[in-house]
Amino acid sequence: MTTATSSDVTGKIFKLAPATNLNGTVQVPGDKSMSHRSIMFGAIAEGVTEVSGFLEGEDSLHTLDAFRAMGVKIERGGEGEVTLHGRGVGALVPAAESIYLGNSGTGMRLLTGLLAGMNIPATLTGDASLTGRPMKRIVDPLSQMGATIGTGEGGTPPLTIEKSDTLKAIEYVCPMASAQVKSAVLLAGLHATGTTVVHEPAITRDHTERMLRGFGVDVSVDGLTSSIRGGQVLKATTLTVPGDISSSAFFLVGASMTPGSSLLLTGVGMNPSRTGVIDILRLMGASIVVENERETGGEPVADLRVSGSRLKGIEVPEELVSLAIDEFPSLFVAAASAEGQTVVTGAEELRVKETDRIQVMADGLRALGADITDTPDGAVINGGRLTGGTADSCGDHRTAMSFAMASLISDGPITVLDCDNVNTSFPGFAQIAQRAGLNIEEVAATP
């Protein structure tokens, strides 16, 4: 993969001068995973569901638009406030046109399982990045349940869900640790005959199971096995979406790796299937204190106080990889700052995200002066200072924000290309990061 130059790209870029630390208080936007699910479940529940803390990002807004297109009355209040007037599964109608989901793999995979189970035909499309992502991982188990789903060449989107008979429950062994695959099968099982059982090879995020319980659905979890009985009806509820720990990760890394930092992150979701980034940073020597623990909508929430120090390189335990899979772009930056060597293995799932995140991070960090060698399932990183330069995010929101945080350990300026998709998960990132201490400017690229 080659690194583009500013003459090759259009759209937004980040320009960053070296910074030294992060300070103050930061409240990150609502959790993206939970925002998707709050719309999906509120839309098919019986009664009025009120959601606060909804992420006003492009990905979750596409999910909201999808259910509007299928006949659900959705009202907007202030920022992050959504009211869904659910009338049950039977009230949904097929969308008149293809449903566009932008960059959202979560939206596409979960919606496919839900619509296949409800026997609602649809064509799901996305942007160029989403159109290249693997979908056979959900199409195969859904087909075993009796769904008929067409894909593009190579098992990628667009996905065409055809009308079929009522699905039948299956017992499915996931070949990879993926909350999206697990959730797609469970959501199809919600409307299948019998009890659907999903076995996972490792722990993944459990937002689907927790939130379904909040809507009155009986979901059984026993270790790495989840099961759901078909035919259950969702009842409307009121829920608050906590701050996204994946968005917090950039600030956790930035503050942890810079001596002199003192940062408070408020209202962060602390679901135990998502806190691997904290565990890994603590193994590297980070000082992260959990304060004001509480619960919102069945999800644990807390404030995180971070004090900066010099991190040390580690071998990342593979059992923590699935608990921090979306946070590894920022963790690669932490490793680039650390004293000694960091080794990441068992993270091959990173190669089929919005981009090949192993390759994009390795190429970008090398362009900024890091000593990093990518491997098929991870990377070997020898820490130190960066020299600065230009890194191409390749349109991936998480790699773009990670490269921005690299300016805290760089002796020279950094330019990050292709940053438009940052708004999919973290609208206002540049402004919030600037207030915390980054010397960041968001500008239009020069064609």
pLDDT of residue 165: 87
Annotated catalytic, 326? yes
- Sheet bearing 171-173, strands edge to edge: 171-173, 195-199, 225-229, 219-222
pLDDT of residue 296: 81
Q: Each residue of 390-447: pLDDT tens digit?
A: 999 999 999 999 999 999 999 999 999 999 999 889 999 999 999 999 999 999 987 6
CB 182 within 8 A of CB 156: no
More confident position, 379 or 177 = 379
Pick the range with the lowest mean pLDDT from 163-167, 221-225, 359-363: 163-167
Rounded distance between C-alpha atoms, residue 305 and residue 252, angstroms: 9
- The separation between the first and the last C-alpha atoms of the chain, rounded to the nearest angstrom, is 21
Q: Each residue of 65-119: pLDDT tens digit?
A: 999 999 999 999 999 999 999 999 989 999 999 999 999 999 999 999 999 999 9
Q: Please say if the pLDDT value at position 122 is more than 70.
A: yes
pLDDT of residue 131: 93
Q: Per-residue pLDDT averaged across 230-242, rounded?
A: 96
DSSP string, 204-250: ---HHHHHHHHTT--EEEETTEEEEETT---B--EEEPPBPHHHHHH
Q: Name the active-site residue from 326, 356, 363, 420.
A: 326
Rounded distance between C-alpha atoms, residue 404 and residue 392, angstroms: 11
> How many other CB atoms are found less than 10 A from the CB of residue 25?
12
- For 6-29+242-444, which CATH superfamily applies? Enolpyruvate transferase domain (3.65.10.10)
More confident position, 91 or 256 = 256
Q: DSSP secondary-structure letter at 290?
A: E
Q: Is the peptide bond before 121 cis (omega within 30 degrees of 0)?
A: no
C-alpha neighbours within 13 Å on the C-beta side of residue 224: 14
Q: Please say if the pLDDT value at position 237 is more than 80.
A: yes
pLDDT of residue 11: 84
Q: Please say if the pLDDT value at position 3 is more than 80.
A: no
Residues near 154 by beta carbon (within 8 Å), at least 6 away in sequence: none
Rounded distance between C-alpha atoms, residue 299 and residue 177, angstroms: 21
Q: Where are the domains of the chain?
A: 6-29+242-444, 32-240
Considering the chain, what is the average pLDDT of its residues?
95
- Burial readout 363-388 (b: 16 or more C-beta within 10 A, e: otherwise): bbbbbbbbebebeebbbbbbbeebeb
Which long-range contacts link 91-96 to residues 24+ away (Cβ below 8 Å)? 92/43, 92/44, 92/67, 92/118, 92/120, 93/120, 94/70, 94/120, 94/121, 94/122, 95/66, 95/69, 95/70, 95/122, 96/69
The third-level CATH classification (topology) of the domain covering 32-240 is UDP-n-acetylglucosamine1-carboxyvinyl-transferase; Chain (3.65.10)
Q: Per-residue pLDDT averaged across 321-343, rounded?
A: 97
Kindly state the tokens that stand for 66.
């999808």
Does the fold of domain 32-240 match that of domain 6-29+242-444? Answer: yes
CB 393 within 8 A of CB 3: no
